[in-house]
């Protein structure tokens, strides 16, 4: 599938969807505290998203039948992904998944608004967290900003990946392997798709009109991953914590525009 370049008008639609995502985080923020369940957070997010005449894009997404010896994948059942501590991504909200003091939680939100998608992730501290978890979050956030800085016309996707990998590893952390950033448009996953590890000057050339995510998943341990039996939730292989920040950006002739902010 080829990369579809977006017009100014189309980017305006993506910006409106991204703004709803950003505002949903502001609604959720005061509720991310010890004692709340991830199911409660999911309900709060869904109520707000639907109040904005948007649709939770993850809910019902991704069902696949069994094929070629691989088991079937059920549709994702929730509005948000809630990834606690060693969960890297695609954590499923549940009534018995209670947040505790010292946890970290990545909340990934995707919405469909007037036929355009907004997609972002924020990692939150639950109460007071230990210094290593704070440093992990700081590094993950900085990696995202470094990646966005490299997302310039005529650069390569490998420039983004290399900047992220170089900084994360210099700080003693690692990038989760096999997990990718992706294009965004009328659907949640479009071209281009690229990992967060790589070499400068490699990969697809970045062009104005591209819209894609920068979403490094940074592990406190090694980059190994494992998928749980629910076929969705991906955790660190060694049980170390993981943190993620994500923005959807639009490539311009100059500085990239972050679409998922208020």
The C-alpha angle 219, 157, 120, rounded to 5 degrees, equals 55
Pairing of strands 257-258, 247-250: antiparallel
**Alpha-carbon span 85 to 103, nearest angstrom:** 6
Give 200-212 pLDDT, tens digit per residue: 999 999 999 999 9
- DSSP for 4-35 reads PPPPHHHHHHHHHHHHHHHHHHHHHGGG-STT
Q: Is 259 helix (H, G, I), strand (E, B) or coil?
A: coil
Asked if residue 162 lies in contact with residue 199, where contact means CB atoms within 8 angstroms, the answer is yes
**Predicted local confidence at residue 70, as pLDDT:** 81
What is the model's pLDDT at position 71? 86
Confidence (pLDDT) at 155: 98
Share of the chain above pLDDT 70, in %: 100
Identify the segments of the chain with pLDDT beneath 50. none
Please give the full DSSP string across 153-220, using - where no structure is assigned.
TT-BHHHHHHHHHHHHHHTT-EEPTT-EEEE-SSSSSEEEEEES---TT-SPBP-TT-EEEE--EEES
Q: In order of start, what are the domains of the chain with their CATH numbers?
A: 8-61+77-258 (3.90.230.10)
107 close to 41: Cβ distance less than 8 angstroms: yes
């Amino acid at each position: 599938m080829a990369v579809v370049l977006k017009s100014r008008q189309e980017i305006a639609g993506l910006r409106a969807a991204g703004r709803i995502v950003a505002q949903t985080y502001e609604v959720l923020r005061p509720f991310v505290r010890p004692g709340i369940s991830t199911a409660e957070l999911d309900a709060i997010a869904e109520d707000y998203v639907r109040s904005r005449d948007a649709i939770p894009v993850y809910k019902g997404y991704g069902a696949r039948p069994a094929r070629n010896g691989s088991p079937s994948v059920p549709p994702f059942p929730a509005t948000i992904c809630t990834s606690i501590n060693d969960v890297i991504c695609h954590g499923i909200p549940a009534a018995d998944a209670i947040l505790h003091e010292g946890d970290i939680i990545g909340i990934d939100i995707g919405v469909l608004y007037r036929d355009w998608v907004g997609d972002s992730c924020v990692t939150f501290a639950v109460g007071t967290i230990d210094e290593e978890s704070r440093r992990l979050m700081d590094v993950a956030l900085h990696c995202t900003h470094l990646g966005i800085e490299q997302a310039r016309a005529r650069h390569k996707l490998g420039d983004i990946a290399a900047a992220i990998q170089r900084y994360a590893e210099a700080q003693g952390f690692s990038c989760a392997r096999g997990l990718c950033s992706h294009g965004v448009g009328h659907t949640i996953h479009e071209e281009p798709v690229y990992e967060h590890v790589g070499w400068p000057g490699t990969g697809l050339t970045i062009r104005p009109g591209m819209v894609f995510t920068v979403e490094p998943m940074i592990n406190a341990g090694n980059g190994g991953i494992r998928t749980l039996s629910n076929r969705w939730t991906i955790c660190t292989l060694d049980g170390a914590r993981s943190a993620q920040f994500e923005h959807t950006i639009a490539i311009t002739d100059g500085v990239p525009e972050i679409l998922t902010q208020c």
